[in-house]
Structure 1
């Protein structure tokens, strides 16, 4: 099962990333369309991952202050537990370093906090609500 992770360069890839985000965040987690798609979608770097041509993971990267800010990270339910999320994070870290940044920051849903800790992220905030879902802010020096 070869994972084809790429930085979005055309409208089809962008729509594929949005399709995965819609499935995970809007349909599965009941996040509102207004919360899921914001003004940053126009300027952020989008990442999409395919297996056998099917889009199954997506993420968004923005550069904010001294951080690469990792957002909207998701893997289709049918493909969780296969270390695809880890591969997405490693890819985002590479893109961040290539952009000249040495730190990554993300707001993790609390159920995924252990996953990010296993990848070297450190929790730096109290729990807070975002789109009705508990989150914590986590950072990592790359």
Structure 2
């Protein structure tokens, strides 16, 4: 199981941002200036650590309208398939509930739709492009 923490230190933030750069900028060719945007200053960031205390997953959470919006969910390629994406999402959902929001929302890359459906998310949009990658918007009642 992944040890997920909301970021409290500069080091943790650097670790989370490094994971996002590896996954989105290097692996998926998202332009750096699109990946690291103005919302980073106001979001709650998360980093997930392996049992060996190695940072292997990251995400951010923002609040809009009645939703906690899950964003920038990233797991290092060599660590995928171990349930770590689920672990970081569950940690984010817990914070959303603690803040009193009734719903979670995310923009899923279309290849990951089935993953999010298994976690209870439902598609509410047509497919759209973001950073050159097809996405859909999904929501979940918490």
Scaled by the length of structure 2, the TM-score of the pair is: 0.97
Match of 2:74 in 1: 74
SS at match of 1:140: strand
Post-superposition shift, 1:3?
2.1
Residue ranges of structure 2 left out of the alignment (5+ in a row): none
* Runs of at least 4 residues off by over 6 Å: none
Question: Which residue in the other structure is 2:86 paired with?
Answer: 86
C-alpha separation between the residues in 2 aligned to 1:3 and 1:104? 21
Report the aligned-residue RMSD: 0.7
Q: Deviations over 1:100-134 (max 9, x none)?
A: 11100000000000100011000000000000000
Q: How does 1:95-106 map to 2 (within 5 A)?
A: 95-106=95-106
Which residue of structure 2 aligns with residue 3 of structure 1? 2
- What does residue 15 of structure 2 align with? 16
Q: Contact (CA 8 Å) 2:2, 2:88: kept in 1 or not? A: no
Q: Deviations over 1:40-97 (max 9, x none)?
A: 0011000000111211000000011100000000100010000111111111110100
Paired positions, count: 141
The TM-score with structure 1 as length reference comes to 0.97
Aligned to 2:120: 120
